[in-house]
Amino acid sequence: MEKHLTSLLIVFFGISLVLTPVEISAQARKTPPELSIYGGSGISFAVLSYPDSKSSSFGGHFCGGLGITAFFNPQWGFHTGVSVGMSSLKIDVDKIINLTSIGKNDENTSELPGYEEGFNRELHTTLSEYHERHRTLFLNIPVMLQFQTKPKYHFNWRKGQRSAFYAMTGLHFLLLLDNKYDMGIKNINNMAYYPEIDNWAGTQSFKGLGTFDGNSKNGSFGIGALAMFAFETGVKWRIGEKTYLYTGTYFDCGLHDPVKKYRTSHDAYITPESVENITLLALSNRINAMAVGIKLRLAFVLQQKIETCSR
């Protein structure tokens, strides 16, 4: 946890360094900064890669928080803030087939028949009807560059331009606070093939071969931090003298696998104990986390008087 807090402090320090010249520039150019409150909801999904196939998982996604945008000029600005979000994932896979090649001189393989004879083996593991559910709470710090079509201000705001196009891109730094999961699998089948003698073995249950009833479990763990590429675009509406409403869509894509360190090697499924106690998240080679949805942002201009600005 201390490591995550240190990373978070570094991020905040970096933001403050960036914001200082931005605010000075904004003041110098008479472009007012904006304080905003926002919320968004949509779908979180992930693409999972398995030894023999790929699959997708879907769930809900929600976030809400506070932000500030300091402008370089009337069209370009820097946006950051902090928000709290929740996401869920639902993973269902009918069948996963994994092939593990085991050489005659490999260590820690004596549980499989044929070890004494010194044969090469291929362990075919089939996992049927696997499911997994995740519910995650996270803290999000956006660091984004914002572009908007050039607005036209007026002392009487109703005479000015009422709407503009905007787009934002950058990074989201997620500190994953809590993750609760439950998982289950119907059954697991192990068969060993010996190519040198063209023979199959699949009934020696005491050696980890055969069909075994699956198991289920639940718990929680902290995944840590996740960096995501973020993109948002939509329309900026002027609804008051110093008030704007942003309506847009967002897309976030994870830049790294958040659960890599929790994954075990497929080669571990070679004993009765390992087959009957499957490890959470050990089945996928990689997970790419993503989210897409709709976001609303209510922004307030941090200036008492809006000065006239021509196009």
Q: What is the pLDDT of residues 90-142, one digit of tens each?
A: 878 788 777 777 776 665 555 555 555 667 878 888 878 888 888 889 999 99
CB 133 within 8 A of CB 185: no
| pLDDT score for 306 | 46
| pLDDT score for 290 | 87
Domain that holds residue 76: 2-301
| pLDDT score for 272 | 54
| Residue 64 CB neighbour total at 10 angstroms | 16
| pLDDT score for 166 | 96
| pLDDT score for 210 | 83
The runs of H, that is alpha helices, within the chain are 2-28, 272-276
* Closest C-alpha to 73, from 31, 13, 39: 31
Number of domains in the chain: 1
Residue 310 lies in a domain: no
| pLDDT score for 52 | 61
| pLDDT score for 23 | 47
Residue 311 lies in a domain: no
| pLDDT score for 226 | 82
| pLDDT score for 120 | 80
Residue 307 lies in a domain: no
In tens, the pLDDT along 9-35 reads 445 444 544 444 444 444 445 678 999
**Whole-angstrom Cα distance, residue 134 to residue 124?**
28
Residue 308 lies in a domain: no
The alpha carbon of 136 is separated from its chain's Cα centroid by a whole number of angstroms, namely 10
* Closest C-alpha to 239, from 185, 301, 180: 301
Q: Which two tokens stand for residue 177?
A: 């606070």
pTM for this structure?
A: 0.72
| pLDDT score for 280 | 46
**Whole-angstrom Cα distance, residue 290 to residue 253?**
4
**Whole-angstrom Cα distance, residue 237 to residue 157?**
12
What residues of the chain score a pLDDT lower than 50?
1-10, 12-14, 16-28, 280-281, 306-311
